[in-house]
Amino acid sequence: MDKLMENEVFKAFTTYAVIVTVKMMLMGPMTGYFRMTRGAFANEEDVGRKNAEEKKKLLRTHPDVERVRRCHQNDLENIIPFVVIGLLYALTAPELSTALLHFRVFAGSRIFHTIAYVGALPQPSRGLSWIVGMLVTFSMAYNVLSKVFLL
């Protein structure tokens, strides 16, 4: 095993990075599920065995599908920056407890964000969870740049 993986902070980062990335990936199958159940497809070959009339009906957008897709997009916009900046943060040797606090709050905020988005919970539930996740990433970015800065 690489020495990096013997480091506690790096182990914690690895665990949370895998969890939030897998969570993000699951939005793909969820989009597929909503496309099937709502009958709303984007590609002609996906409704290939139907006749022309039925095809036209199925090649449409549906609010539920679009909602899951926006949630997926928001994950791409927030979880990937967390993974990038979190990796560099883990390499700057922060305290384990501080690092765990960052990772836990981020993972929690993103899981709640998905529930709030897909479940269409009233605002500001989704807005706040988005902001909390972003603040965690900004905090790690600040920590990295205050230790390592070579322009």
CB of 22 to a copy of itself, least distance (A): 5
Residue 86, C-beta contacts closer than 8 angstroms, at least 6 positions apart: 13, 16, 17, 102, 103, 106, 137, 140
Compute the distance between CA of residue 71 and CA of residue 67 in angstroms, rounded to an integer: 6
**Site residues (vs a copy of itself, CB under 8 A):** 1-2, 4-5, 7-8, 10-12, 14-18, 21-22, 24-25, 27-29, 42-46, 48, 66-67, 70, 72, 76-78, 80-81, 83-85, 88, 91-93, 120-123, 126, 130, 134, 137-138, 141, 144-145, 147-151
Kindly list the distances between the CA atom of residue 44 and the CA atoms of 3, 6, 55, 99, in Å, as whole numbers in the listed order.
Answer: 50, 50, 7, 47
CB of 141 to a copy of itself, least distance (A): 5
CB of 53 to a copy of itself, least distance (A): 19
What region does 62 belong to: left with phi over 0, alpha with psi -120 to 50, or beta? beta
Q: Which is nearer to a copy of itself, 45 or 53 (CB)?
A: 45
